[in-house]
Amino acid sequence: MAVSPFASGRAGQAQIEIQINGLYPTLNKWAKADPMFNKEIRAASIELINDVVIEVKKAAAVAPNPKQATEAAKGFRARPDRIPVVRLNASSGFVSKTRPNSKRKTKVTRGDVFFGSEFGSNRFTQFPERSIPFGAGNRGYYFWPTIERMAPDIRELYLEALDRITSKLAKM
């Protein structure tokens, strides 16, 4: 299995998946060989991503607008999947100190605030300035830099978990 040198994401759901070439066919073969494999790999994936979520929340506390970033980061959860996935509960309510949701016609969600607190805005004053350019977009303040920093460790720990589970299942 070759490991690709990047982490990729999908906007709208704020989902990060570590890409490993040839992973899905291999996972399918192992799952067919032993049904307990899926249960074990999902547990290992959740354990691994919970550490990432903790680091993202720590990074949000030192972002340019820490109250906003911390409140948005409260929606991050480890998704139970065979691959490590972080999911933002984008539809949960965002708690604003200055203008609570009870006074709004349209409720504000964590998904609405996440992208502004992560990438900033030059148009909306409640968000920090745009983060530095990166490729076709922006680098981000707390989520993407944390994922980029942790990506090699995530890949390594995930592959170690796969090795541990397959050797455990081979002994059965």
pLDDT digits (tens, 9 = 90+) for 145-160: 998 899 889 889 988 9
Tally of CB atoms within 10 A around 65 = 18
Range(s) of the domain holding residue 110? 6-171
Kindly state the tokens that stand for 147: 């994922």
Q: Which pLDDT does position 126 carry in this prediction? A: 85
* Position 13 pLDDT exceeds 50: no
Residue 45 domain flag: yes
Residue 44 domain flag: yes
Supply the pTM of this predicted model: 0.77
Indicate the number of domains in the chain. 1
Three-state secondary structure call for residue 27: helix
Residue 134 domain flag: yes
Residue 1 domain flag: no
Three-state secondary structure call for residue 82: coil
Residue 61 domain flag: yes
Tally of CB atoms within 10 A around 94 = 21
Confidence class for position 91, pLDDT limits 50, 70, 90 = confident
User: Do residues 59 and 146 touch, judged by C-beta distance below 8 A?
Assistant: yes
Please give the biggest Cα pair distance in the chain.
60
